[in-house]
Structure 1
Amino acid sequence: MKKLALFLTIIFMTMSYGQEIKQVPQINTNGEGKVKVAPDQVCISATVETKGNNAKDVKKQNDEKMDAVLKFIKKMNIPTADFKTKQVSLNPIYDYEKKKTSYNATQTVEIVVKDLSKYDELMEGLVQQGINRIDNVVFESSKLAQYQSEARKLAIKDAKSKAEDYVSVLGQKVGKAITITDNSQVYPPRPVYMAMKAESMDASGASNETLAIGEIEITATVSVSFILD
Structure 2
Amino acid sequence: MKKTLLALFVAVSTFATAQIQQNTPPQINVAGEGKVTVIPDEAEISIGVTNTGADAATVKKANDAAIDAILKYLKGQKLDAKDYQTERVSLQRTYDYDKKKYNFVASQTINIHLRDLSKYDAIIMGVTDAGANTINGVTFKTSKEEQYKSEARVKAVADARKKAEDYTKALGQKLGKALMVTDNSQTYYPVMRATALKGYMADAESTRETLAPGEIAITANVNISYALE
TM-score in same-fold range (> 0.5): yes
Tell whether 2:156 aligns with 1:155: yes
Give the conservation status (yes or no) of the 8 Å contact 1:189–1:219: no
Instruction: Give the % identical residues.
Output: 47
Judged with a 3 Å threshold, the aligned counterparts in structure 2 of structure 1 residues 109 and 15 are, in CA distance, closer, same or farther, namely closer
| Deviant stretches of 4+, over 6 Å | 12-17
- The alignment of Structure 1 onto Structure 2 pairs a total of residues equal to 205
The aligned residue for residue 36 of structure 2 is 35
TM-score using structure 2 length? 0.80
Judged with a 3 Å threshold, the aligned counterparts in structure 2 of structure 1 residues 225 and 63 are, in CA distance, closer, same or farther, namely same
| Aligned pairs for 1:14-53 within 5 A | 19-22=19-22, 23-53=24-54
SS of 2:79's partner is coil
The aligned residue for residue 214 of structure 2 is 214
The aligned residue for residue 78 of structure 2 is 77
Give the conservation status (yes or no) of the 8 Å contact 1:49–1:133: yes
Q: Give the partner amino acid of 2:221.
A: T
Flag structure 1 segments of 5+ consecutive residues without an equivalent.
1-11, 192-199
Give the conservation status (yes or no) of the 8 Å contact 2:187–2:218: no
The structural deviation recorded for 1:213 is 1.2
Flag structure 2 segments of 5+ consecutive residues without an equivalent.
1-11, 192-203
Judged with a 3 Å threshold, the aligned counterparts in structure 2 of structure 1 residues 95 and 65 are, in CA distance, closer, same or farther, namely same
| Aligned pairs for 1:46-125 within 5 A | 46-125=47-126
Give the conservation status (yes or no) of the 8 Å contact 1:190–1:217: no
Judged with a 3 Å threshold, the aligned counterparts in structure 2 of structure 1 residues 24 and 129 are, in CA distance, closer, same or farther, namely same
Instruction: Give, in whole Å, the separation in 1 of the partners of 2:16 and 2:82.
Output: 62
TM-score using structure 1 length? 0.80
Judged with a 3 Å threshold, the aligned counterparts in structure 2 of structure 1 residues 49 and 171 are, in CA distance, closer, same or farther, namely same
SS of 2:218's partner is strand
Question: C-alpha offsets along residues 122-171 of structure 1, whole Å, 9 cap, x if unaligned?
Answer: 01111111110000100111222332222122111110011112222444
Judged with a 3 Å threshold, the aligned counterparts in structure 2 of structure 1 residues 63 and 165 are, in CA distance, closer, same or farther, namely same
SS of 1:107's partner is strand
Question: C-alpha offsets along residues 149-202 of structure 1, whole Å, 9 cap, x if unaligned?
Answer: 221221111100111122224443211111222222x342348xxxxxxxx996
Give the conservation status (yes or no) of the 8 Å contact 1:93–1:104: yes
The aligned residue for residue 9 of structure 1 is none
Instruction: Give, in whole Å, the separation in 1 of the partners of 2:52 and 2:81.
Output: 29
Give the conservation status (yes or no) of the 8 Å contact 1:190–1:218: no
Q: Give the partner amino acid of 1:225.
A: S
Q: Give the partner amino acid of 1:216.
A: I
Q: Which has the larger radius of gyration?
A: 1
SS of 2:44's partner is strand
- Name whichever of 165-174 and 154-163 sits farther off: 165-174
The aligned residue for residue 189 of structure 1 is 189
